[in-house]
A and B are shown apart, each in its own frame.
Chain A
Amino acid sequence: MASYSTNEFKGGLKIMLDGDPCAIIENEFVKPGKGQAFNRVRIRNLKTGRVVEKTFKSGDTVEAADVVDTPLQYLYTDGEHWYFMHPDSFEQLTADPNAMGDAAKWVKEQDLCNVTLWNGQPLTVDAPNFVVLKILETDPGMRGDTSSGGGKPATLETGAVVRVPLFVQTGELIRVDTRTGAYVSRVKDE
């Protein structure tokens, strides 16, 4: 089984901790001049997203987590699972709702997503940073009233609801930043 020594610790390294895959955020080397060295590490649990701190004795080894990031193409969902395909090998992989998280709100068939695999299975799915989606429904809004700035809710084709400016209408395509859920711009239909 692959393992890492504390002296290989650095940001981004993936290790197993208490049975969960984790990523090292920050590694601080602490050593009294004449004494025991330690690594104080901030770690993100990749399953839960929680950040914890942990001290290791320098020189100790920890099990490596078989975690890789790979782009996968989203195919479809049956409501329970989300199906993805590797663009080169055409291998199909299945993500559960836990792994999908927020990405379920944004992805559309054919979208290329960054998927973190743990032991070959999707652990987390990131939607593309920007997606273009059609507005299924939004109030007509008042023409000319562009000053209120408050906007209005719009339901998108994936079911996500975002706030859009009043002048944006049902049937239009908009660009959304999936990291914040914010409307970016209208997109001309090609």
Chain B
Amino acid sequence: MSPASRTSDSEDWRPLAGREQLLRRAQLLQGVRGFFLAHSVLEVETPLLGHHTNPDPALESWSVCDPGHGQGKGGAQFLQTSPEFAMKRLLAAGSGPIFQICKAFRGGERGRRHNPEFTLLEWYRPGYSYHRLMDEVAALIRILQADPSLVDERLSYAELFGGRLGVDPHRAEPGELQCVALAQGVSGAEDLALSRDGWLDLLMSHCLEAQLGRGRLCFVYDYPPSQAALARVRDGTPAVAERFELYWEGMELANGFQELTDATEQRRRFLNDQQRRASAGQAPHPIDERFLRALESGMPECAGVALGLDRLLMVMSGTAHLDEVLAFPWERA
């Protein structure tokens, strides 16, 4: 049971986060803004409510209707799952390096580390490689945590799965991955029907994540191309998606890309997402043509990353449940 739903109705007006946590959050926000001010990265705002949304089947967007249009007549609008598309339109228009602190919304996500509304820090660095951006993520966290000696390590996705589970994540078939899950004692794995990526996600979340980044920052990078999302894919044997995730104290905190700038490839991925949504019975999402036109006009080569600030606060304050760092988590929102 989440802390938010534990107390009686008469007390449920109260915030979950104590004053100390409110102060920590305020200091964190100031720290982030100070860091980017010092590094000449421009703070921007983009719409939280948009006409389009990310069609990635792993994300469920909240849709809302404009009551000013009469019930449902204006069509659905979407609360953004991240500010990615809008920020890339700014980049394509020549904004230079930008950052944003904003709320993001994802349907169906509620748990110890999930709240359907959460705070993201997202930033983009034209001219940076994704490895250079990892350096900057680590530098930011060292400053926020006031711990200059906090070390960071980097493990490729293949090194992680090969070293800890003895399996090649780029070549293993679903059956082999299922065997690894069973050997690792994942109860229920015998009854699951998952895709290759589904099994990799299961192994990552059930068998690997908890050990990652203990006492250090751990960047996992170079994902299978099937998990590229909006990252550039680098040809090779195997081909890899230039994507990274940051783990700290067993918690996934950030996801970054060497950003895909090719509009044709982006459209191909959107169409693929739409097919997967349709076959899974998910609501269809029309393609954001403004975003594609921005890519067509030429977005600078850049690296970008989104970092969950609520989870960062959790790790920095050593709390076990996201609710403890939120004033009003979902059940009290």
CB of B205 closer than 8 Å to a CB of A = yes
CB of B17 closer than 8 Å to a CB of A = no
Whether B112 pairs with A28 at a CB distance below 8 angstroms is yes
A56–B192 alpha-carbon span in the complex (Å): 7
Whether B109 pairs with A29 at a CB distance below 8 angstroms is yes
Supposing A57-B194, A57-B198, A58-B108 touch, asked if A33 and B252 sit within 8 A by C-beta, the answer is yes
Among A33, A54, A58, contact of B255 (Cβ-Cβ < 8 Å)? A33
Supposing A54-B187, A55-B202 touch, asked if A32 and B252 sit within 8 A by C-beta, the answer is yes
CB of B56 closer than 8 Å to a CB of A = yes
Q: How far is the CB of B46 from chain A (nearest CB, A)?
A: 19
Among A7, A11, A32, A56, contact of B201 (Cβ-Cβ < 8 Å)? A32
Supposing A10-B1, A40-B206 touch, asked if A31 and B188 sit within 8 A by C-beta, the answer is no
Q: How far is the CB of B224 from chain A (nearest CB, A)?
A: 11
Total count of chain B residues near the partner, CB < 8 A: 31
CB of A37 closer than 8 Å to a CB of B = yes
A31–B111 alpha-carbon span in the complex (Å): 9
Whether A38 pairs with B187 at a CB distance below 8 angstroms is no
Contact with A along B22-41 (1 / 0, CB 8 A): 00000000000000000000
For window 1-56 of chain A, which residues contact chain B by CB distance below 8 Å?
7, 10-11, 28-38, 40, 52-56
Whether B187 pairs with A30 at a CB distance below 8 angstroms is no
For A52, the chain B residues whose CB sits under 8 A away are: 187
A178–B193 alpha-carbon span in the complex (Å): 45
- Nearest A residue to B229 via CB reads A34
CB of B290 closer than 8 Å to a CB of A = no
Whether B108 pairs with A36 at a CB distance below 8 angstroms is no
Whether B187 pairs with A55 at a CB distance below 8 angstroms is yes
Whether A36 pairs with B197 at a CB distance below 8 angstroms is yes
A57–B56 alpha-carbon span in the complex (Å): 17
Supposing A29-B114, A30-B206, A56-B188 touch, asked if A37 and B194 sit within 8 A by C-beta, the answer is no
Whether B110 pairs with A55 at a CB distance below 8 angstroms is no
Among A35, A55, A58, contact of B188 (Cβ-Cβ < 8 Å)? A55
CB of B227 closer than 8 Å to a CB of A = yes
For window 48-91 of chain A, which residues contact chain B by CB distance below 8 Å?
52-58
A52–B201 alpha-carbon span in the complex (Å): 22
Contact with A along B100-134 (1 / 0, CB 8 A): 00000000111111100000000000000000000
Q: How far is the CB of B308 from chain A (nearest CB, A)?
A: 8
Supposing A29-B114, A54-B187 touch, asked if A35 and B227 sit within 8 A by C-beta, the answer is yes
CB of B245 closer than 8 Å to a CB of A = yes
- Nearest B residue to A39 via CB reads B111
CB of B141 closer than 8 Å to a CB of A = no
Whether B198 pairs with A36 at a CB distance below 8 angstroms is yes
- Nearest B residue to A33 via CB reads B255
Whether B187 pairs with A31 at a CB distance below 8 angstroms is no
Whether A36 pairs with B58 at a CB distance below 8 angstroms is yes
Whether B245 pairs with A33 at a CB distance below 8 angstroms is yes
Contact with A along B161-203 (1 / 0, CB 8 A): 0000000000000000000000000111100111101101110
Q: How far is the CB of A16 from chain B (nearest CB, A)?
A: 13
Whether B111 pairs with A29 at a CB distance below 8 angstroms is yes
For A10, the chain B residues whose CB sits under 8 A away are: 1
CB of B139 closer than 8 Å to a CB of A = no
Whether A30 pairs with B58 at a CB distance below 8 angstroms is no
Can you name 17 extra interface pairs (CB under 8 A) apart from A29-B113, A34-B255, A55-B192? A29-B110, A32-B252, A33-B252, A35-B58, A35-B200, A36-B194, A36-B197, A36-B198, A36-B201, A37-B109, A40-B206, A52-B187, A53-B188, A54-B187, A56-B188, A57-B193, A57-B198
- Which B residues are closer than 8 A to A by beta carbons? 1, 56, 58, 108-114, 186-189, 192-195, 197-198, 200-202, 204-206, 227, 229, 245, 252, 255
Show 27 A/B contacts (Cβ-Cβ < 8 Å), sorted by A.
Answer: A11-B1, A29-B111, A29-B112, A29-B114, A30-B205, A31-B109, A31-B205, A33-B245, A33-B255, A34-B255, A35-B201, A35-B205, A35-B227, A36-B58, A36-B201, A37-B58, A38-B202, A38-B206, A40-B206, A53-B187, A53-B188, A55-B187, A55-B189, A55-B206, A56-B188, A56-B192, A58-B108
Going nearest first, the 8 A-B pairs with the smallest beta carbon separation are: A29-B111, A35-B201, A54-B188, A36-B201, A55-B188, A36-B198, A53-B187, A30-B205
